[in-house]
Amino acid sequence: MDDIARRAGISKKTLYLHFANKEEVVNESMIWYKNNTTANCVSVLSNADNAVEAMVKILAFFDGMHKRINPMALFELQRFYPEAYKMFRSMLEDRDVVMIRENILQGIKEGLYRPETDADIMARFKLETSLLILQPNLMVNDRNSLMSVAMEIGEHFMYGLMTAKGIELYCEYKIKYLKKA
């Protein structure tokens, strides 16, 4: 609470006028963060010409976020603030899975994703693999940065979805939007 008050340029007493306790600060911060991230994703998705471009732009957006995030933040949220983590998971399932599913269905209609793809399963798979890299694990370590692991998993996901036409577009968008070409 001292750190939050200092960074906000207010006293701890003033901070406690607005928040009952540390848990409330964490809950409200998580809700703000998730709402802000979702709004940015909606904006990115709505400014794409097709499903592949949308997904590549989202990969690029999260690449930028991964550069600023503490990889232990989600683990610590889960460990020390289980109610906030539960809300976070619920918001992911209510919003993110739906957005990913809609992107997959759009890509299937556009002939860019394989028609036999189960959009519900793959949307959940994408979400879970995105969260996996933010947990303490063997993938993110001294040799493999959070960004490189996230990009590798994102690319693997995309190649599993795309048709030949989608792969052609992906290669173009990858050069245009992603640093790793």
DSSP annotation of 167 reads H
What are the domain boundaries of the chain?
23-177
φ, ψ of residue 162 to 5 degrees: the values are -80, 150
Alpha-carbon distance of 62 to 56, in angstroms, equals: 10
| Residue 48 one-letter amino acid | A
Alpha-carbon distance of 65 to 29, in angstroms, equals: 16
* CB within 8 Å of 128: residues ≥ 6 apart: none
Range with the poorest average pLDDT among 52-61, 143-152, 153-162:
143-152
pLDDT surpasses 70 at 138: no
Percent of the chain with pLDDT over 70: 93
23-177 is a CATH 1.10.357.10 domain: yes
Average pLDDT over residues 61-88: 85
pLDDT range class, residue 143, cuts 50, 70, 90: low
